[in-house]
């Protein structure tokens, strides 16, 4: 079983379109992290959310952790080809082990 479920698994959007990626846990999240991975490269830390209802933005990417701290969404506004890659959420669910989501592959068509 997967501790963190991401949806959708893959996404193809036209440049300029908005999109949302979701990360869902069956348990309370003790900190939720979003990473971006360019194909064949390592992961780059995007942002961290800890408090229920917390929302953070970086350039055109906004992430939010819901009030119950069991789901997070990543929203990209006016997508660009540079946004293409694999987005992974990560979280400390049990209090002593970190888990990653299954990843969402994003393709942005110019």
Partner 1 sequence: NAGVTQTPKFRILKIGQSMTLQCTQDMNHNYMYWYRQDPGMGLKLIYYSVGAGITDKGEVPNGYNVSRSTTEDFPLRLELAAPSQTSVYFCASSYLQGANGYTFGSGTRLTVV
Cβ neighbors of 95 (< 8 A, separation 6 or more) are 30
With binding defined as CB under 8 A, does residue 1 bind partner 1? no
With binding defined as CB under 8 A, does residue 40 bind partner 1? yes
DSSP state of 78: S
* Of 8, 12, 16, 45, the one binding partner 1 by CB under 8 A: 45
With binding defined as CB under 8 A, does residue 98 bind partner 1? yes
* Of 13, 30, 56, 66, the one binding partner 1 by CB under 8 A: 30
DSSP-derived secondary structure for 16-58: T--EEEEEEESS--SSEEEEEE-TTS-EEEEEEE-STT-EEEE
Number of residues that bind partner 1 (CB under 8 A): 27
Contact 3, 25 (CB under 8 A): yes
Closest separation between CB of residue 23 and partner 1, Å? 11
Task: List contacts with partner 1 (CB under 8 A).
Answer: 2, 4, 6, 9, 30-31, 33, 35, 40-45, 48, 88, 90-92, 96-103
């Amino acid at each position: 079983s997967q501790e963190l479920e991401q949806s959708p698994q893959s996404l193809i959007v036209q440049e300029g379109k908005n999109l949302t990626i979701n990360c869902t846990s069956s348990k309370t999240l003790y900190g939720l992290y979003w990473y971006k991975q360019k194909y064949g490269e390592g992961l780059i830390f995007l942002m961290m959310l800890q408090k229920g209802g917390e929302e953070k933005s970086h350039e055109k990417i906004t992430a939010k952790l819901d009030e119950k701290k069991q789901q997070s969404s990543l929203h990209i506004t006016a997508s660009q080809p540079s946004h293409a890659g694999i987005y992974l959420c990560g979280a400390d669910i049990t209090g002593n082990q970190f888990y990653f989501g299954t990843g969402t592959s994003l393709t942005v068509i110019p």
